[in-house]
A and B are shown apart, each in its own frame.
Chain A
Amino acid sequence: MKLPFAWEHLIGVIALLLFCYGQVFGLFMVPPDAHMGDVARILFVHVPSAWNAFFVFTIAFVCALGYLISGRKGFDHALEAALEVGILLTILLLMTGSIFAKPTWDVWWKWEPRLTSSAIMLMTYVGVVVLRSVVQDNERRAVWSSAATILASVTLPLTYFSVQIWRSIHQIQTSPADIDAPLRMAWRINALAVLLLATWFLARRWRIAARRWELGDAPPLPEPLQPEEV
């Protein structure tokens, strides 16, 4: 069956609906947190954006590796999409984290391992995107940014495990078993919604990347015809 629109829009609509439901669910249908009260509700966006940021950057790493090994241009399109969506999610992560930090830690920002490593991760990937923007040649851009992405991916495990390596003010990863059932549900709905949103963005961004590659690949314009000398 041929859809009259791109398939990812279906996912996008589902994602938006689910996200709206997740927000309403998290804001109004879940009891406030036993210790932090209503403030904790921001975690229903903070944690899903963190999970998905890590997930999307992992996709970027796999695509970079895939491009260097196989040289298939699809990996490059996916890499471009994953880099930008990952950066978006990381910015959301840092912003919501910062808003959450003010009422709970009484500061907007603290130079502790988790926050610092997340900021480093963001800057590293922004560097790769800037690198992509200055290289004109398609293959070159693909190879270089793949190499830079692989090097940048060293920051991924560092950020993820930073809370366990250096115990500081940021809590370690929470096990679902430690969370009360309705709160866990709000978390899962929002995580799925953000995942679907990210998928929608990835697919859209993929298509733009593919178009750009084709434009870059287009044969050079023919030389203007010289008027015949008579």
Chain B
Amino acid sequence: MIAFFQQIFGVALKDLTIEVRAPVRAFSVLFFALVILVMVAFAAGSTTKILQDIAGGTLWIAILLTSTRALDQSLSTEFEDHALEELLLWPVEPAAIFYGKAIANALVLWVVAALLTPLLFVIYDAPLFGSFVELVALIALGCAAIAAPGTLYATLTAQARGGAVLLPLLLFPLVVPALVAAARGTTVVMEGDPMRQAPAWLVVLVLFNLIHWAVAGVLFRYVIEEP
């Protein structure tokens, strides 16, 4: 059991090392997220009231779109030069590979979110009347909710033709419940949450995470095994 957790840790560390050693990858992901924030502001018009209203939703659209870039990069690396195969032969448990990669992907999304959120307060003039802790919890759980099914689907699409197009098609509908919970939760926390709705959205995110981290972890070994 301890070996299993060591493997998870090792895989996550490996993925993060790749991100650190090839900063171009991480920067392209970050810049992509930034461009989305700015573009939405242009498209919606620069009225402060509108921007404040859509700040929470825009943050999550930016994270979601960025996640497809990050996930695709993270998994396509594994299929270059049979890297994943060697990892399996080492031998590393398939489930450990999944959890390691999913944790690393969640961390990447957390970094993206941590850099975007302050920008939201600056360029969208978003307020924060609610609890800061709840905002952090919503962002952490929301990113994790995208990372788990995203890692599984990216594993499929990285191996298929035209995978980069396919990933959003598979992933976006699936994570709508998490997106709704995270975006609505973020918005109400920013507005001060007078009706105390944020805890309910957090519960939705926790449930979504529990289901998807469990199911995707079980399914992962099937999608990487050569038939």
- Choice from B170, B219, B227 contacting A127 with Cβ under 8 Å: B170
- Residue B216 at the chain A interface, CB threshold 8 Å: yes
For residue A164, give the distance in angstroms from its CB to the closest CB of chain B. Answer: 15
B222→A120 contact, CB < 8 A = no
A150→B219 contact, CB < 8 A = yes
B227→A151 contact, CB < 8 A = no
Interface residues of B in 176-227 (CB under 8 A from A): 176-177, 211-212, 215-216, 219, 222-223, 225, 227
Given the complex, which residues of A lie within 8 Å of B177, measured CB to CB? Answer: 120, 158
A68→B176 contact, CB < 8 A = no
With A134-B160, A134-B162, A154-B211: A147-B223 Cβ-Cβ less than 8 Å: yes
- Choice from A130, A137, A154, A155 contacting B227 with Cβ under 8 Å: A137
- Residue B56 at the chain A interface, CB threshold 8 Å: no
Given the complex, which residues of A lie within 8 Å of B153, measured CB to CB? Answer: 148, 151
Main secondary structure of the interface of A (DSSP, over half): helix
For residue A229, give the distance in angstroms from its CB to the closest CB of chain B. Answer: 38
With A130-B166, A137-B227: A147-B222 Cβ-Cβ less than 8 Å: yes
Stretch from A50-58, A100-108, A138-146, A208-216 forming part of the interface with B: A138-146
Interface size class of B (residues with CB under 8 A): 20 to 34
Given the complex, which residues of B lie within 8 Å of A135, measured CB to CB? Answer: 160
Main secondary structure of the interface of B (DSSP, over half): helix
A131→B170 contact, CB < 8 A = yes
B149 to chain A: closest residue by CB: A151
A143→B174 contact, CB < 8 A = no
Given the complex, which residues of B lie within 8 Å of A126, measured CB to CB? Answer: 169, 173
For residue A137, give the distance in angstroms from its CB to the closest CB of chain B. Answer: 7
Given the complex, which residues of A lie within 8 Å of B166, measured CB to CB? Answer: 127, 130-131, 134
Residues 148-164 of chain B: 1 if any A CB is under 8 Å from the residue's CB, otherwise 0?
01001100110011100
Give 12 new A-B contacts, CB below 8 A, not counting A146-B222, A151-B174.
Answer: A120-B177, A123-B172, A124-B170, A124-B173, A126-B173, A127-B166, A127-B174, A134-B161, A143-B225, A151-B152, A151-B219, A154-B215
- Residue A45 at the chain B interface, CB threshold 8 Å: no
**Could you tell me which A residues sit within 8 Å of B by CB distance?**
68, 116, 120, 123-124, 126-128, 130-131, 134-135, 137, 139-140, 142-144, 146-148, 150-152, 154-155, 158
Q: How far is B177's CA from A135's CA once the two chains are assembled, in angstroms?
A: 28
**5 cross-chain pairs, A with B, having the tightest CB-CB distances, nearest first:** A139-B227, A123-B173, A127-B170, A124-B173, A147-B219
Given the complex, which residues of A lie within 8 Å of B160, measured CB to CB? Answer: 131, 134-135, 144
**Could you tell me which B residues sit within 8 Å of A by CB distance?**
149, 152-153, 156-157, 160-162, 166, 169-170, 172-174, 176-177, 211-212, 215-216, 219, 222-223, 225, 227
Given the complex, which residues of B lie within 8 Å of A137, measured CB to CB? Answer: 227
B160 to chain A: closest residue by CB: A134
- Choice from B157, B172, B176, B216 contacting A151 with Cβ under 8 Å: B216
15 contacts between A and B (CB under 8 A): A116-B176, A120-B177, A126-B173, A131-B160, A134-B160, A137-B227, A143-B227, A144-B156, A147-B152, A147-B222, A151-B152, A151-B215, A154-B174, A155-B174, A158-B177
Q: How far is B149's CA from A68's CA once the two chains are assembled, in angstroms?
A: 18
B215→A140 contact, CB < 8 A = no
A135 to chain B: closest residue by CB: B160
Given the complex, which residues of B lie within 8 Å of A68, measured CB to CB? Answer: 219, 222
Q: How far is B222's CA from A142's CA once the two chains are assembled, in angstroms?
A: 11
A143→B223 contact, CB < 8 A = yes
A148→B173 contact, CB < 8 A = no
With A134-B161, A151-B149: A128-B170 Cβ-Cβ less than 8 Å: yes
Q: How far is B165's CA from A134's CA once the two chains are assembled, in angstroms?
A: 11
Q: How far is B142's CA from A103's CA once the two chains are assembled, in angstroms?
A: 38
